[in-house]
Amino acid sequence: MADEPIGGASATLELADWRRQVADLYAEVRRLSATDVDAALGFWRASREQLYREHPQSPVPAATRGDFRAHHFPADTTMRFEVRVQPDGATAAPPPGLGGFGGAFGGAGGLAMASPIAMQLPVSVGGTMSFSRIGFVDIPFASGPRRLGVFWMAGYAGGLFVPFRDATNGTETYGAGRYLLDAAKSADLGGDGERGTLVLDFNFAYHPSCAFDPKWACPLAPPENRLDLPIRAGERLA
């Protein structure tokens, strides 16, 4: 989603409004998903497209914003998972802000928190961004399970982060991959803190801001989050 404002109080207030609307969007998606995932997906697609087309903080360049239309793979109910976050290592205190995740990070009935592993993820404009890997999830694809790292953003607003790359990158989807979860930007489909789970639905996978305009600085998926199969669900290029 859109990142830092450029240019004064007006842009800052626009960014605050963008974040507010995105947070409201995902809150409604989580509410709808409890009873009707198809309705939640339709609402997400339509609302996100409108934001990207009309909002002044859209990552789509202003010159092409009015004609923006989102493109998606057909919905695939087999690509929605609730998966348990598994720790990497020994029990330790969670990073600041993680305590509220409940059982996944030390609460009753959940998992012991792994010692966070400090990592530098590559950024689209060059350089790196600081994260901690807090654990991993195993995705039970029909062709066999695949593992993805789960990260916590060290700076910015903090938050869980799950990017991925797959065999569609560079042809059907953006070459540097897509995002499943970016809680710093409110892109979060939920989970169960007591059981230590996250909802990861590839139908809601979306391109980072840098896919629309290279001026945006976007953290990218590390090698461990590169899947060896095509994920034809979620947002596509055309």
Q: Does residue 129 lie in a domain region?
A: yes
Model confidence over 148-195: pLDDT tens digits?
A: 999 998 876 689 999 999 999 999 999 999 999 999 889 999 999 999
Q: What is the mean pLDDT of residues 27-43?
A: 98
In 3-state terms, what secondary structure has residue 198? strand
Q: Does the pLDDT value for residue 96 go beyond 80?
A: no
pLDDT for 161 equals 94
Number of domains in the chain: 1
Q: Does residue 29 lie in a domain region?
A: no
Answer for the pair 85, 193: CB distance below 8 angstroms, yes or no. Answer: no
Q: Does residue 117 lie in a domain region?
A: yes
Q: Does the pLDDT value for residue 99 go beyond 60?
A: no
Answer for the pair 167, 178: CB distance below 8 angstroms, yes or no. Answer: no
pLDDT for 111 equals 43
Q: Does residue 40 lie in a domain region?
A: no
Q: Does residue 147 lie in a domain region?
A: yes
- Structural domain boundaries enclosing 227: 73-236
Q: Does the pLDDT value for residue 15 go beyond 80?
A: yes
Q: Does residue 15 lie in a domain region?
A: no
